[in-house]
Amino acid sequence: MTVTIGLTATASMVVSEADTAPAMRTGAVEVLATPRVVALCEEACCAALAGAVVPPKTTVGVRVQLDHLAPVSVGTTVTAEATLERVEGRRLVFTVSASDHAGLVAAGRMTRVVVETDTFLAKAR
C-alpha cells in the first residue's frame, strides 16, 4: 500500500432527475440532492486511492463534514475534487469540493479508513 499525502482525483456527473432531492426523498425542490453531492465527493476520494490501496484491503467512509453551498439544476455538470490531506495510520483525511460552471457547490472534509475487506464484512450486522 502506497498512500501518500497529496493524492488527488476528480469525479464528474451531469445532474439528472434521479439525482434530485425529491427523487432521493430528501426534499421537495428539483435540484441536486445533498446525499448525491456526498456520493460524488466519495467517488473522487476513491478515485484518488485507485492503485494505492489494493485487495484484500479497501477503504470505507467513516466521517463526512460537508457544506452544501449552492443549488444545482438538472442538466448541469458538477465536478468533485478530493485531495488526501492527512494520513493518520489507517485513517485518511481528504479535503473535498464540488463545483459547477458558476463556482463552488460544496466543500468540506471526508475521512476514510483502510480495512481488510473480509474482516470488515465479517463484522457487518
Amino acid type, 60: V
Q: What's the CA gap between 62 and 73, in Å, rounded?
A: 29
- What residues act catalytically? 34, 42, 68
Q: Which residues does 20 contact at the CB level (< 8 Å), separation at least 6?
A: 29, 30, 31, 32, 33, 74
Determine how many CB atoms are found less than 10 A away from the CB of residue 79: 16
CA 54 to chain centre: 19
